[in-house]
Amino acid sequence: MEQKASDVQKQRIKEIEARADELVRKCDNMFVSSVNEKGYPRTCCVNKLSDEGFREIYFVTSKRSEKQGKAKHFETNTKSSVCFQHEGDSLTLVGEVGFITDREEMQRLWNENHRGFFPKGIDDPKIRFIHFHTLEATFWIEHKFRTVKYK
């Protein structure tokens, strides 16, 4: 029996999503965009702390400034974009961020490599743990292009 076109498309999406999960796991660094106080995008390279594939990503930033920077931007606008690139493949995500305040979760995410920037660890008053949730993904993997929306 021949597969329906919709079933073929669903299978192709599952395949590219699995490859996107692999791409994210390979990348320690990512580009994160926030919306600044004037409504412009601001992109920075940050270290990824953890991920649950491409749909849920965690990173840390600092609230060193009361007027600018990712943490301040995210306080007023939770819209964000995250990009990954490895070899010839790339992934651009659009979604929402939230601040993680649960101490147990912060301890799980903490990386001692950040102690140079946050000497007091998770008790540093400037540290902000961020959770990015994907709402839309644009894949360019193995020369295949696709954009998928999520809830």
The answer to whether the beta carbons of residues 97 and 49 sit under 8 Å apart is no
**Percent of the chain whose pLDDT exceeds 90:** 84
Q: How many CB atoms lie within 10 A of CB 104?
A: 7
Alpha-helical (H) ranges within the chain are 5-26, 70-76, 103-109
Tell me the pLDDT tens digit for each residue of 92-148.
999 999 999 999 999 999 999 889 999 999 999 999 999 999 999 999 999 999 999
| Least confident among 27-41, 67-81, 120-134 | 67-81
Nearest of 13, 93, 23, 4 to residue 55 by alpha carbon: 93
pLDDT at 64: 74
> Token pair 């743990």 is at which residue?
129
Q: What integer pLDDT is reported at residue 67 of this predicted model?
A: 64
Which residue carries 């996107």 as its tokens?
20
Phi/psi for 104 (5° steps) reads -65, -40
pLDDT interval class at 1 (50, 70, 90): low
pLDDT band at 2 (very low <50, low <70, confident <90, very high): confident
Domains, the chain: 5-149 (2.30.110.10)
